[in-house]
């Protein structure tokens, strides 16, 4: 009955909302089935679904809201309340919900949580016997990692000294020793430097008879072990640093919650490998795994990957990508998006192109000219792409592989190496595909060309796997400005 009613309401919804994704009726049926039967369900959506899949998820929730928890990122949260719920209201559908953890959860209302709220709700044991729904589940690990992270500031050190005055000399000694070591290693003003987790254990040993009961110290001392990575972010101008602590495998910390509750997970990129890698549980299985849409039925991406390109570690690579970017931008009448995750390289490219194209070139801002050039990270583009006009082209000077300069990336690679596992194919490469496919999802079918200027696409065996993941695409052998 839920499937039938959801179908009826979805058809009425489309009479007032023109955006149509051809698989929404099937998605509605799958969601309804999962809600009724409480199955562990994994649904892979084709990349052309963009944001059109929301009605297929929300309409069944409006009709069946028993013990449902909807977990959203900040971006999804804004999308839900600013765009999707007003559309539902115009179709006379009521989304009965409660937000956050301030109010007691009701079994008869949809419980909408951000990832940070999910952590607190789990700690308070409020999530028993509920069905957890994760849209865009390819980002679940990274969202949880950020939500679980702990930040210790200079002010927190002062508060610790003030509340534990009898240990003042020992605390100051630890802080000064760490500061000297960090600033000696700092090569630039915004350096990020790894700290051995045993430094926190040493501080904990000093305070063992009187551990602090205030945040963030209480949580830091409770969680720190070799499953967490710690690092400092340096501010050379203020001669200060912040201490960050993050879990390497956040899903393992929540493995009890995930294995005891029913899960409904949707993904736009289909990369579920990292989920199982982080969960590391042989007991966990999906009862239903469905792939919606044949990617070969989608509109192909016009793809430009020159055959003779230098590799990123060669001396002429930087000048090559600058010349290619300049050539590709000439004559374009609509925006160009240049995607570079490495901050230093991105700022160099931004500065170089600004010297050529002036105020058209901006760095990570949505306030652009008609033919503006936006230099940004892939994550910034994913978060802000709906606030920008459809671009003429996307340019990737380098393949967006996670950088080992990030402490948590380096620590996770070390962990996988220690376990004798293929850290590149199990971790770095799947992460790359998730980011790459998510970056391209919005432009498929919009006649937006994509240029990848990294020689590894042609000269590395895994470059062929990227070509396969991007299908369907049509090769642009010669790309001249027009």
CB 184: neighbour CB atoms within 10 A?
8
Confidence of residue 275 (pLDDT cuts 50, 70, 90): low
480 in any annotated domain: no
Claim to verify: residue 127 and residue 167 sit in the same structural domain: no
Q: What is the pLDDT of residue 105?
A: 72
Residue 388 vs residues 163, 305, 332, 445: alpha-carbon distances, Å: 49, 25, 16, 17
Claim to verify: residue 77 and residue 139 sit in the same structural domain: yes
Q: What is the pLDDT of residue 11?
A: 66
The residue range of the domain holding 239 is 148-247
Residue 267 vs residues 134, 198, 290: alpha-carbon distances, Å: 9, 37, 11
264 in any annotated domain: yes
258 in any annotated domain: yes
| Residue whose structure tokens are 């929300």 | 58
Claim to verify: residue 79 and residue 138 sit in the same structural domain: yes
Of the listed ranges 136-150, 296-310, 321-335, the least confidently predicted one is: 296-310
CA dihedral 187, 192, 196, 199 (to 10 degrees): 90
Structure-token pair, residue 119? 């952590």
Q: What is the pLDDT of residue 286?
A: 82
Which residues partner with 43 through β-bridges?
266, 290
Cα 204 from Cα 18, distance rounded (Å): 59
279 has a pLDDT exceeding 70? no
298 has a pLDDT exceeding 80? no
The residue-averaged pLDDT of 319-348 equals 92
Q: What is the pLDDT of residue 150?
A: 92
The fraction of the chain above a pLDDT of 70, given in percent, is: 90
Cα 241 from Cα 191, distance rounded (Å): 10
Residues 339, 377: contact at Cβ < 8 Å?
yes
318-323 contact pairs (CB < 8 A, 24+)? 318/345, 318/348, 320/453, 321/349, 321/397, 321/398, 321/453, 322/349, 322/352, 322/353
Q: What is the pLDDT of residue 254?
A: 84
Q: Which of 263, 278, 295 is the last residue of a domain?
A: 295
Q: What pairing do the DSSP bridges indicate for beta strands 336-339 and 373-376?
A: parallel
414 in any annotated domain: yes
The residue-averaged pLDDT of 256-264 equals 85
Claim to verify: residue 281 and residue 303 sit in the same structural domain: no
Counting beta carbons within 10 angstroms of the beta carbon of residue 462, is it exposed (0 to 12), middle (13 to 18) or buried (19 or more)? middle
Claim to verify: residue 70 and residue 85 sit in the same structural domain: yes
What stretch of H or E contains 373?
Answer: strand 373-376
Over the stretch 70-120, which tens digit does the pLDDT of each residue have? Answer: 999 988 999 899 888 888 877 777 788 888 876 667 777 889 999 999 988
Claim to verify: residue 317 and residue 414 sit in the same structural domain: yes
Cα 153 from Cα 158, distance rounded (Å): 9
Claim to verify: residue 71 and residue 179 sit in the same structural domain: no
Q: Which of 226, 260, 295 is the last residue of a domain?
A: 295
Confidence of residue 482 (pLDDT cuts 50, 70, 90): very low
The residue-averaged pLDDT of 293-310 equals 80
Q: Which of 295, 328, 363 is the last residue of a domain?
A: 295
Over the stretch 424-476, which tens digit does the pLDDT of each residue have? Answer: 988 899 889 989 988 988 888 788 999 999 999 998 999 999 999 888 899 98
Claim to verify: residue 130 and residue 77 sit in the same structural domain: yes
Helix (H, G, I), strand (E, B) or coil at 245: strand
- SS3 of 92-140: CCCCCEEECCCCCCCCCCEEEEEHHHHHHHHHCCCCCCCEEEECCHHHH
**What is the value of pTM for the model shown?**
0.84
Confidence of residue 376 (pLDDT cuts 50, 70, 90): very high
Angle in degrees, CA 172, 176, 181, rounded to 5: 155
Of the two residues 21 and 447, the one the predictor is more confident about is 447
DSSP string across 436-461 = HHHHHGGGTTTT-EEEE--THHHHSH
Claim to verify: residue 319 and residue 287 sit in the same structural domain: no
Counting beta carbons within 10 angstroms of the beta carbon of residue 303, is it exposed (0 to 12), middle (13 to 18) or buried (19 or more)? buried
DSSP conformational letter for 196:
-
321 in any annotated domain: yes
482 in any annotated domain: no
Residues 400, 247: contact at Cβ < 8 Å?
no
57 has a pLDDT exceeding 70? yes
Claim to verify: residue 120 and residue 164 sit in the same structural domain: no
Claim to verify: residue 153 and residue 117 sit in the same structural domain: no
Measured over the CA atoms of residue 3, residue 45, residue 383 and residue 114, the dihedral's sign is positive
Structural domains of the chain, count: 3
Q: What is the mean pLDDT of the chain?
A: 85
| Residue whose structure tokens are 């049926």 | 29
481 in any annotated domain: no
273 has a pLDDT exceeding 60? no
Over the stretch 181-237, which tens digit does the pLDDT of each residue have? Answer: 888 887 666 678 888 888 888 888 888 878 888 889 988 888 877 789 999 998 877
Cα 478 from Cα 85, distance rounded (Å): 45
Q: Where are the alpha helices (DSSP H) in 40-104?
A: 54-63, 74-79, 85-90
Claim to verify: residue 160 and residue 30 sit in the same structural domain: no
Cα 311 from Cα 316, distance rounded (Å): 9
Which CATH number does the domain housing residue 407 bear? 3.40.50.300
Q: What is the pLDDT of residue 294?
A: 67
DSSP3 helix / strand / coil % (the chain, rounded to 5): 50, 15, 35
58 in any annotated domain: yes
Residues 408, 233: contact at Cβ < 8 Å?
no
The separation between CA 379 and the C-alpha centre of its own chain, rounded to angstroms, equals: 7
353 has a pLDDT exceeding 70? yes
């Amino acid at each position: 009955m839920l499937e039938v009613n959801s179908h009826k309401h979805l058809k009425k919804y489309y009479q007032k909302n023109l955006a149509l994704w051809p698989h929404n009726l099937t998605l509605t049926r799958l969601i309804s089935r999962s809600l009724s039967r409480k199955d562990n369900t994994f649904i892979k959506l084709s990349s052309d679904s963009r944001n059109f899949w929301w009605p297929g998820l929300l309409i069944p929730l409006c009709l069946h809201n028993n013990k449902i928890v909807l977990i959203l990122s900040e971006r999804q949260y804004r999308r839900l309340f600013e765009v999707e719920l007003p559309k539902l209201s115009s179709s006379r559908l009521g989304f009965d919900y409660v937000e956050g953890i301030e109010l007691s959860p009701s079994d008869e209302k949809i419980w909408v949580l951000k990832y940070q709220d999910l952590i607190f709700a789990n700690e308070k044991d409020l999530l028993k016997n509920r069905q957890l729904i994760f849209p865009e589940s390819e980002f679940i690990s990274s969202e949880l990692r950020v939500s679980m992270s702990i930040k210790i500031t200079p002010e927190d050190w002062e508060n610790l000294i003030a509340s534990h005055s009898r240990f003042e000399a020992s605390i100051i000694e630890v802080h000064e020793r760490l500061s000297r070591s960090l600033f000696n290693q700092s090569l630039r003003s915004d350096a990020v430097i790894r700290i051995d987790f045993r430094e926190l254990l040493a501080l904990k040993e000093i305070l063992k008879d009187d551990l602090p009961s205030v945040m963030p110290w209480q949580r830091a001392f409770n969680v720190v072990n070799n499953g967490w990575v710690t690092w400092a972010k340096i501010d050379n101008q203020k001669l200060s640093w912040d201490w960050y602590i993050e879990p390497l495998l956040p899903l393992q910390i929540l493995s009890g919650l995930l294995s005891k509750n029913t899960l409904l997970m949707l993904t736009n990129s289909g990369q579920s490998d990292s989920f199982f890698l982080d969960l590391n549980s042989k007991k966990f299985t999906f009862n239903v795994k469905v792939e919606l849409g044949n990617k070969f039925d989608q509109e192909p991406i016009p793809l430009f990957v020159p055959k003779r390109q230098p590799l990123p570690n060669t001396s002429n690579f930087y000048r090559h990508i600058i010349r290619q970017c300049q050539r590709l931008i000439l004559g374009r009448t609509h925006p160009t998006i240049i995607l570079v995750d490495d901050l230093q390289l991105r700022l160099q490219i931004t500065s170089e192109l600004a010297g050529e194209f002036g105020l058209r070139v901006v760095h990570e801002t949505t306030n652009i000219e008609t033919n503006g050039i936006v230099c940004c990270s892939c994550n910034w583009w994913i978060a802000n792409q709906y606030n920008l006009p459809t671009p003429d082209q996307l340019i990737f000077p380098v393949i967006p592989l996670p950088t080992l300069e990030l402490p948590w990336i380096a620590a996770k690679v070390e962990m996988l190496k220690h376990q004798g596992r293929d850290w590149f194919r199990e971790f770095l490469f799947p992460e790359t595909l998730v980011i790459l496919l998510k970056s391209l999802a919005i432009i498929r079918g919009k006649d937006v060309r994509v240029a990848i200027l990294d020689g590894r696409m042609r000269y590395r065996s895994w470059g062929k796997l990227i070509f396969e993941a991007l299908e369907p695409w049509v090769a642009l052998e010669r790309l001249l400005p027009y």
